[in-house]
């Protein structure tokens, strides 16, 4: 095990060398709650949030946690209590934030396809800002604000056309991306918004992609945004905030993600003229390394040239390896005292050849062994489905030696709750 891995609350106490999260044995969690299950460390989530607050404290930041990364109510509440804001992309996410005790005044609304219903709900709730992504969206938003007799606070999401050097499915700032608008269009939209009685310009926004492990793309994007901010000033438009989005990467395999303090230092050299505050929309960096997916080996199976460990978690529970060929470290909760381990492919029970959680892993395994799939706190449960009629797994939040069930394991009844057999 390397140090990065140890620092997120996972460790093997000398007295009991099985894997623990904070002071809780993952063996005990599996015994009490069954597998598969997601287990998160409260301390790791708080530490990641605090890293943002401390690094950017000179910019009066508002850290708007990207709900899509992990939308569990308990996690939202934990962050709301720390004073976090939220980045949402749907009326459903707004509903979750408000249910969890989040403040509408700290919510920014991203996304290219906001429906009338989404807009109306957010306008009535009184959110901080709509991150507008097209001319048609700006028009619709002004119309809805007029109908509801309110003024909609807006930022324009600018596509700074930088290459975030990440997986193409999670890069959003390329020229060809569906997200945001180019700088010239943004300037036009700002003039339109400034002239509207139903819109109020409050900020500017960009988000260039996800799992970005160097600072350069962020700084390149910031420079382009600042250029536009200056042009807007010439147009007589001043902004309360600059929202630099999320996207800072985490450790999955051998990445060395940037320390936020270095991001903050680089920004302070660029932002001395800006009097407003900074917003960020981190998701993965807050919860990604804070959680594991626990799973049990159902069978070992040899096929030509390969050994398989067939486990009870599948692509429906953790879609990232199938969808992006993403790497998640996989470790045995109880390490076997054998000197030889072998390379195994860890696969799930779902009837799809792409149901692979990890290939060619160096593990010594027997049937029934418990495995922890690491860095599963972000885009794990939130992207999960019931495919193959598999009830969604429970989620547990560990705090010291206490375990709280923050989502129950779904039942078969949950699978059919909204269906009707008809005649
Ligand atoms: N803001 C906006 C507008 C976004 O679209 C996203 C993520 C975020 C913030 C948060 O990004 P983060 O800090 O988590 O990188 N399912 C993929 C990731 C998709 C990210 C989508 N947008 C994955 O599992 O890697």
> pLDDT, tens digit, for every residue of 79-93?
999 999 999 999 999
Q: Could you tell me the distance, in angstroms and rounded to a whole number, from the CA of residue 85 to the centre of ligand 1? A: 16
How many residues are present in the chain? 423
Per-residue confidence (pLDDT) for residue 3, from 0 to 100: 42
Q: End of a domain among 236, 261, 282? A: 282
Q: How far apart are CA 283 and CA 260, in angstroms?
A: 14
Q: End of a domain among 261, 282, 303? A: 282
Q: Could you tell me the distance, in angstroms and rounded to a whole number, from the CA of residue 111 to the centre of ligand 1? A: 11
The predicted-structure confidence for 214-227, as pLDDT tens digits, reads as follows 999 999 999 999 99
Residues 127 and 251 grouped into a single domain: yes
* Ligand 1 and 224: CB distance under 6 A: no
Tokens for 252, please give them.
């999955």
Assess if residue 219 is contained within a domain.
yes
Question: What's the chain's Rg over C-alpha atoms?
Answer: 23
Assess if residue 126 is contained within a domain.
yes
Tokens for 87, please give them.
């980045």
Residues 314 and 243 grouped into a single domain: no
Tokens for 135, please give them.
């001319």
How many domains does the chain divide into? Answer: 2
Residues 214 and 256 grouped into a single domain: yes
Per-residue confidence (pLDDT) for residue 321, from 0 to 100: 98
CB-CB neighbours of 130 under 10 Å? 30
Strands 20-21 and 10-11: antiparallel
Residues 36 and 146 grouped into a single domain: no
**Choosing from 53, 129, 206, 351, which is the catalytic residue?**
351
Q: Any catalytic annotation for residue 351?
A: yes
Starting at the edge strand found earlier in the chain, the sheet holding 20-21 runs: 10-11, 20-21, 24-25
Contact 55, 263 (CB under 8 A): yes
Per-residue confidence (pLDDT) for residue 170, from 0 to 100: 63
Tokens for 78, please give them.
């934990």
Tokens for 260, please give them.
């936020």
Assess if residue 228 is contained within a domain.
yes
Residues 123 and 215 grouped into a single domain: yes
The predicted-structure confidence for 181-202, as pLDDT tens digits, reads as follows 999 999 999 999 999 999 999 9
Asked whether the predicted pLDDT for residue 4 surpasses 70, the reply is: no
Q: Could you tell me the distance, in angstroms and rounded to a whole number, from the CA of residue 13 to the centre of ligand 1? A: 34
Task: Return the CATH number at 322.
Answer: 2.40.37.10
* Ligand 1 and 369: CB distance under 6 A: no
Nearby residues of 405 by Cβ (< 8 Å), 6 or more positions away = 33, 394, 395, 396
The percentage of the chain sitting over the pLDDT mark of 90, rounded to a whole number, equals 90
Assess if residue 82 is contained within a domain.
no
Considering only CA atoms, which residue is closest to atom 16 of ligand 1? 379
Assess if residue 56 is contained within a domain.
no
Residues 266 and 247 grouped into a single domain: yes
Q: Which atom of ligand 1 is nearest to 379's Cα?
A: 24
Residues 373 and 331 grouped into a single domain: yes
* Ligand 1 and 249: CB distance under 6 A: no
The predicted-structure confidence for 70-120, as pLDDT tens digits, reads as follows 999 999 999 999 999 999 999 999 999 999 999 999 999 999 999 999 999
Q: Could you tell me the distance, in angstroms and rounded to a whole number, from the CA of residue 19 to the centre of ligand 1? A: 29
Per-residue confidence (pLDDT) for residue 172, from 0 to 100: 67
Q: How far apart are CA 208 and CA 18, in angstroms?
A: 40
pLDDT classification of 2: cutoffs 50, 70, 90: very low
Considering only CA atoms, which residue is closest to atom 23 of ligand 1? 379
Asked whether the predicted pLDDT for residue 331 surpasses 50, the reply is: yes
Residues 304 and 277 grouped into a single domain: no
The whole domain housing 324 covers: 3-41+288-415
Task: Return the CATH number at 197.
Answer: 3.20.20.10
Assess if residue 145 is contained within a domain.
yes
Residues 128 and 11 grouped into a single domain: no
Assess if residue 86 is contained within a domain.
no
* Ligand 1 and 207: CB distance under 6 A: yes
Using N-to-C axis directions, what is the helix angle for 116-125 and 135-148, rounded to 10°? Answer: 50
Q: How far apart are CA 408 and CA 269, in angstroms?
A: 47
Tokens for 310, please give them.
């067939």
Residue keyed to tokens 């804001």: 85
Q: Could you tell me the distance, in angstroms and rounded to a whole number, from the CA of residue 247 to the centre of ligand 1? A: 6
Q: End of a domain among 282, 299, 325? A: 282
Q: What mean pLDDT, rounded, does the chain reach?
A: 95
What are the beta bridge partners of residue 310? Answer: 299, 347
Q: How far apart are CA 282 and CA 293, in angstroms?
A: 21
What are the beta bridge partners of residue 355? Answer: none
* Ligand 1 and 328: CB distance under 6 A: no
Considering only CA atoms, which residue is closest to atom 8 of ligand 1? 246
Q: Could you tell me the distance, in angstroms and rounded to a whole number, from the CA of residue 39 to the centre of ligand 1? A: 21
Assess if residue 46 is contained within a domain.
no
- For ligand 1, pick from 65, 68, 159, 315 the residue to mutate: most ligand atoms within 8 Å of CB: 68
Per-residue confidence (pLDDT) for residue 211, from 0 to 100: 96
- For ligand 1, pick from 246, 258, 263, 282 the residue to mutate: most ligand atoms within 8 Å of CB: 246
Residues 133 and 253 grouped into a single domain: yes
Q: How far apart are CA 48 and CA 42, in angstroms?
A: 10
Cα distances from 269 to residues 63, 207, 238, 258, 273, in angstroms, run 20, 20, 20, 17, 10
Residues 192 and 313 grouped into a single domain: no
The predicted-structure confidence for 147-180, as pLDDT tens digits, reads as follows 999 999 999 999 998 887 776 666 666 677 888 9
Asked whether the predicted pLDDT for residue 295 surpasses 80, the reply is: yes
Nearest of 244, 231, 151 to residue 188 by alpha carbon: 231
Residues 255 and 298 grouped into a single domain: no
């Amino acid at each position: 095990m390397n140090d990065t891995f140890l620092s997120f609350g996972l460790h093997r106490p000398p007295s009991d060398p099985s894997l623990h999260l904070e002071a809780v044995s993952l063996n005990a969690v599996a015994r009490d709650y069954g597998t598969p299950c997601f287990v998160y460390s409260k301390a790791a989530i708080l530490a990641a949030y605090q890293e943002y607050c401390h690094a950017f404290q000179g910019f009066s930041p508002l850290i708007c946690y990207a709900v899509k990364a992990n939308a569990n109510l308990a996690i939202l509440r934990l962050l709301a209590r720390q004073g976090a804001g939220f980045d949402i992309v749907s009326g459903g996410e707004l509903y979750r934030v408000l249910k969890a005790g989040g403040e509408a005044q700290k919510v920014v609304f991203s996304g290219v396809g906001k429906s009338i219903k989404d807009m109306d709900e957010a306008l009535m709730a009184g959110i901080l800002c709509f991150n507008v992504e097209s001319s048609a969206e700006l028009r619709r938003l002004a119309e809805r604000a007029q109908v509801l007799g309110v003024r909609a606070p807006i930022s324009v999401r600018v596509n700074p056309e930088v290459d975030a050097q990440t997986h193409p499915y999670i890069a959003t700032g390329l020229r060809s991306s569906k997200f945001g608008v180019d700088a010239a269009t943004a300037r036009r939209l700002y003039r339109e918004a400034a002239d509207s009685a139903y819109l109020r310009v409050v900020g500017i926004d960009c988000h260039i992609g996800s799992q970005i492990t160097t600072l350069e793309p962020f700084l390149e994007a910031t420079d382009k945004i600042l250029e536009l901010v200056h042009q807007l000033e010439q147009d007589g438009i001043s902004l309360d905030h600059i929202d630099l989005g999320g996207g800072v990467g985490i450790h999955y395999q051998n990445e060395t993600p940037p320390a936020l303090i270095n991001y903050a230092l680089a920004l302070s050299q660029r932002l001395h003229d800006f009097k407003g505050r900074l917003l960020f929309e981190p998701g993965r960096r807050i919860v990604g390394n804070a959680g594991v997916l626990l799973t049990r080996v159902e069978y070992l199976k040899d096929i030509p040239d390969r050994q398989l460990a067939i486990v009870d978690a599948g692509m429906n529970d953790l879609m990232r390896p199938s969808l992006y060929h993403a790497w998640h470290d996989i470790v045995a909760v109880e390490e076997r005292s054998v000197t030889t381990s072998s390379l195994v492919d860890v696969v799930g029970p779902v009837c799809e050849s792409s149901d692979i959680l990890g290939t060619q892993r160096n593990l010594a395994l027997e049937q029934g062994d418990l495995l922890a799939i690491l860095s599963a706190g972000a885009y794990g449960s939130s992207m999960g489905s019931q495919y193959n009629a598999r009830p969604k797994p429970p989620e547990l939040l560990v705090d010291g030696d206490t375990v709280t069930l923050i989502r129950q394991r779904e039942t078969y009844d949950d699978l059919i709750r909204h269906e009707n057999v008809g005649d």
